[in-house]
Structure 1
């Protein structure tokens, strides 16, 4: 087993998990092979990969680096995570609701839900603000607990 790990570079469970992922991906590809709109899904996927790798990743890596430089230290890492997690959640929600926010597929949305897509932007902004506010409150509570633990000489979690 040690010889396998040395040659492969990772434990056996890693290879097993990777092969399972390839099996699921292959099954999905076979299911989509007969689909008449499969090329549109493939085009969307390739576009999303290109947009992420060429534009979004460098952008949020730059923002993350700037925040790390500004916050610095161990306490800064904790604060940075309280920005990263809500930003990720807000970004994922934007990705899911962006077509509706941009007004694309409004007729389909209205036919499926009986509602109009106009309030989606305002709702996304409110939910994003609530996520960031919740994270800020959690960070403040953790800082307060840490300071209280340090002030009384007890261990800080």
Structure 2
């Protein structure tokens, strides 16, 4: 008989997955205990806004980037725009209440800190993401030109 093998890889991986599911279940129970209707409404609203607004927006932007790089003959370079744009968008989504100032009173009461600087930090992080991506592309292109054998005439 063959050795029993878990489809997840190892018993440690299975234990880690079970613990994360238990933690997510506990968080869900705690979250839904106070005002389950508003939480459920928020999740449904988030799914609808994502599917009807955000998905078409970022799919169109991705097509435009791929078409621009494809027209120049460098379609593989599109990933160097996709990744920092996706990470920057995710950071904007997470920090939007702080960037917009909608939660200024709650934030200052809870933390004792002012909201100043979140927009600047997001812009700096976005610049760093795109700058790092451009640097990686430049290094990749430099390595590719070094590794290419000279043309024989």
Q: Same fold (TM over 0.5)?
A: yes
The equivalent residue for 1:61 is 59
- Aligned partners of 1:71 and 1:80 also within 8 Å: yes
* Aligned Cα root-mean-square deviation (Å): 2.9
> Closer, same or farther in 2 for the Cα pair 1:33/1:148, shift >3 Å?
closer
Q: Report 1 or 2 for greater relative contact order, CA contacts < 8 Å, sequence distance ≥ 6.
A: 2
Matched, 1:45 2:43: yes
Moved more, 88-97 or 31-40: 31-40
How many aligned residue pairs are there?
136
> Closer, same or farther in 2 for the Cα pair 1:143/1:34, shift >3 Å?
closer
Instruction: Output one character per residue of 1:35-86: Cα deviation in whole Å (capped at 9) or x when no partner.
Output: 122222222211111111001111111111122122118x734311111110
- Aligned partners of 2:81 and 2:133 also within 8 Å: yes
Matched, 1:72 2:66: no
Structure 1 stretches of 4+ moved >6 Å? none
TM-score by length of 2: 0.74
CA distance in structure 1 between the aligned counterparts of 2:115 and 2:28, rounded to whole angstroms: 34
The equivalent residue for 1:7 is none
TM-score by length of 1: 0.72
CA distance in structure 1 between the aligned counterparts of 2:45 and 2:53, rounded to whole angstroms: 11
Equivalent residues in 2 for 1:93-108, closer than 5 Å: 93-108=91-106
> Closer, same or farther in 2 for the Cα pair 1:119/1:29, shift >3 Å?
closer
> Closer, same or farther in 2 for the Cα pair 1:144/1:34, shift >3 Å?
closer
CA shift for structure 1 position 151: 4.2
Matched, 1:111 2:106: no
Mind listing any 5+ residue stretches in structure 2 that lack a counterpart? 1-5, 9-13
CA shift for structure 1 position 29: 8.3
CA distance in structure 2 between the aligned counterparts of 1:151 and 1:103, rounded to whole angstroms: 56
Instruction: Output one character per residue of 1:74-129: Cα deviation in whole Å (capped at 9) or x when no partner.
Output: x7343111111101110111011001111122122112332211321111111111
